[in-house]
Amino acid sequence: MNHFHDALPAVARPPLWRAGLVLALFGAAYGLLAVVNHYLFRTYAYDLGIYNQALWDYAHLRPNANSVMRYNNLLGDHFTLTQLLYAPLYWVFGSYALVLAQIGLVLGGGCGAYRLHLLRTQGRQPGAALALLVLFLSTWGVYSALAFDYHDNVLAAMLLPWLFYWFEADRRGRATAVAALLALSKENMALWLVFIALGLALLHWRTPARRTWALALAAGAAAYFLAVVLVVVPALGAGQAYGYQANYAALGTSAGEVLTTLATRPFFVLKLLFVNYFNAPNGDHVKRELHAMVLLSGGLALLRRPAYLLMLAPIYGQKLLSANVSHWGLNAQYSIEFVPVLHAALSQWLARGAAPRRAAQWATAAAVLALAATVVSMQVRVSPGYDKAAQQFFRGRHYQQPFDAGAAHRALALLPPTARVSATSAVLPHLAARPFVYLFPYVGDADYLVALPQASTYPLSDSALTAELARYQRNGRWQTLPGTGPVRVLRRLRSLPPPPRRIFERRALGAADTARGYPNAGR
């Protein structure tokens, strides 16, 4: 930030301490949200447990054969290479590494958003830049993502302001590097990058050099996406095709059928963006809630700058055309991509001719409205599956659990670090740094069963968990360990022979597991 700041005229140099203070305040709020959730066992096997085991392997310079999902190479599920960059953080922060990295990514994205507006206005709208930074950090998608584990699309979304910044600064080498990182973060983010690049081409159509670069980026991102989905993922996944297109059954059962539906039935596809087509329980009004939040978070700027709406086309598609109701609304990581696009659209609207004072007033009003909408959405939400305690970091319930979390952590610390463990969902992310850790009720060759009945027991109900543990206690092959506080620990009396290497008979969960509720299709 200092290099750009020094390049501005003296009269246009905004005081950096204001932006630093905003970032520090929001960073503290994010820490209270995400770090406290992890400590209090509100992070889960899907997805932090999966990625914590992957990070542990990457920190030891080896690929991840993921025992949680039972994939022999996790990259055969989602092809994400950027987690390798976080691997050193494991040695410092352990199971908190990805949680903290994600907070840092959001703050870094906010820094890029702040610089972007200063660049667009040559520093003439410092008040608007600061207010838009608040809007960026206040938008609901940030809090929903941070409240639910770790996900690689957060990195992609937080790289986008920097892509805009370096592109508009005519530093296309740096913009290309950022775009490459964005594509490598996750295979579907490469598809998003195609639409981002097409939007940039439209915005800068009259500038030949920028237009050519943007169109070349779109072509490169499309080629990369197709190569990964059609060649790389099947190769890493023992020949099985990329599985996530199954989420879009309303459009077709194959990529060809999906494309045909999109091309020949546009009004049907448009209808899917607004209605509960599958009559999902608790699915009514969920999509409308999303549209309302977009408008309240600066979405009017999308109508003034339709190229940004084009950038969001695949995000709307992956959310609202999905058969999974959990994708539709405001929850989890499925809204983070809206944040940088809404900011960029509103920034460009205000940067085009608005006087500094008027721009600051409009930006402040937009930021206040976005923050208010986020706070209200934390209190009242249509989207099913919403956990108020996990997200309302400004209320006492967020810092409480009906058990002694410290005693639970002390009990987990007693487990041998190399022991094979089957654990319930809320416990698993804290035990993932080992070769074999399974999501209970799958036990396999585990030496220990570890359950925290008062936290999430997904995919089992509380009563089903109790029945399962009682069944193991009765069969005479397991011993209940005393002195483990709120955690229930069973040890196998006669350990099974360790496997020669970490390899699984199945690439993924089978039909029987899916029937028991494993959320494989939702990732």
Residues 1-17 pLDDT 10s: 445 554 554 445 566 88
Are 309 and 447 contained in the same domain?
no
User: Which residue matches tokens 């249509």?
Assistant: 382
pLDDT at residue 514 in the model: 34
Tell me the mean pLDDT in the region 127-146.
97
The answer to the question of residue 46 being in a domain is no
Are 500 and 431 members of one domain?
Answer: yes
Strand-strand pairing, 448-451 and 488-492: antiparallel
Q: Is the pLDDT of residue 256 over 90?
A: no
Last residue of a domain, one of 337, 360, 391: 391
What is the predicted pLDDT for the residue at 14? 63
Write out the E strands in 399-453. Answer: 421-423, 437-439, 448-451
Backbone angles phi, psi at 284, to 5 degrees: -65, 140
C-alpha 180/C-alpha 313 separation (Å) is 20
Give the pLDDT mean for 454-458.
92
The verdict on residue 152 lying in a domain is yes
Amino acid at 178: V
520 pLDDT more than 60: no
In a domain, 491, yes or no: yes
428 & 331 share domain: no
pLDDT of res. 511: 32
Does residue 518 register a pLDDT over 70? no
- Beta strands 421-423 and 437-439, pairing class: parallel
For residues 141 and 338, what is the distance between their CA atoms, to the nearest angstrom? 7
For residue 477, give the nearest of 512, 504, 446, 499 by alpha carbon. Answer: 446
Mean pLDDT, rounded, for 295-305:
94
Q: Tell me the backbone φ, ψ of residue 265, rounded to 5 degrees.
A: -130, 60
Q: Residue 52 domain-assigned?
A: no
Residues 179 and 254 in one domain: yes
pLDDT tens by residue, 317-346: 999 998 888 899 999 999 999 999 999 999
Residues 6+ away with beta carbon under 8 Å from 310? 195, 198, 199, 202
Are residues 234 and 350 both part of a single domain?
yes
Residues 110 and 174 in one domain: yes
Task: Report phi then psi at 432, rounded to 5.
Answer: -75, -15
**Looking at the structure, do residues 153 and 185 belong to the same domain, yes or no?**
yes
- In terms of domains, do 378 and 416 share one? no
CB 390 within 8 A of CB 148: yes
Question: What are the tokens at 3?
Answer: 């290099």
Helix (H) and strand (E) counts in the chain: 24, 5
CA distance 292 to 321: 18
Those residues whose C-beta lies under 8 Å from the C-beta of residue 104, and which sit 6 or more positions away, are: none
Q: What is the pLDDT of residues 194-209, one digit of tens each?
A: 999 999 999 999 999 9
Report if residue 70 sits inside a domain: no
Structure tokens at 260: 């045909």
What three-state secondary structure class fits 107? Answer: helix
Together in a domain, 417 and 383: no
Determine the Cα–Cα distance for residues 259 and 263; give it in Å rounded to an integer. Answer: 6
Please, which pLDDT band fits residue 522 given cuts at 50, 70 and 90? very low
The number of residues in the chain equals 523
Residue 60 covered by a domain: no
Which DSSP letter does residue 237 get?
A: T
Residues 411 and 385 placed together within one structural domain of the fold = no
pLDDT at 239: 64
Pair 373, 293: CB distance under 8 Å:
yes
Query: Do 329 and 338 form a contact (C-beta atoms < 8 A)?
Result: no
Residue 397 belongs to a domain: no
Tokens of 505: 């008979």
Residue 244 has pLDDT above 90, yes or no: no
Please tell me the distance from the alpha carbon of residue 191 to that of residue 18, in angstroms, as a whole number: 36
For 220-234, 333-347, 413-427, 491-505, which range has the lowest pLDDT when averaged over its residues?
491-505
- Structure confidence at residue 289 (pLDDT): 96
Percentage with pLDDT > 90 across the chain:
76
Question: Are residue 126 and residue 201 in the same domain, yes or no?
Answer: yes
Residue at 358 is within a domain: yes
- If you average pLDDT over every residue of the chain, what do you get? 90
Alpha helices in 169-305 (DSSP H): 172-185, 187-203, 208-227, 233-236, 255-264, 266-272, 286-294, 300-304
Alpha-carbon distance 93 to 86, whole Å? 11
Same domain, yes or no: 410 and 317: no
Question: Sheet containing 488-492: which strands, arranged edge to edge?
Answer: 437-439, 421-423, 448-451, 488-492, 478-480
Pick from 142, 103, 104, 135: which is nearest to 117 by CA? 135
| Helix residue ranges per DSSP H, 230-353 | 233-236, 255-264, 266-272, 286-294, 300-304, 306-311, 313-320, 338-351
Question: Of the residues 340, 369, 391, which one is the last residue of a structural domain?
Answer: 391
Tokens linked to 428: 């698993």
Domain carrying residue 307? 2-41+78-391
Query: For the residues 107-127, what does the mean pLDDT come to?
Result: 95
Q: Which of 342, 368, 391 is the last residue of a domain?
A: 391
Amino acid at position 104, single letter: G
Alpha carbon distance 390, 147 (integer Å): 6
pLDDT at 72: 86
Domain count across the chain: 2
Looking at this protein, which amino acid is placed at residue 278? F
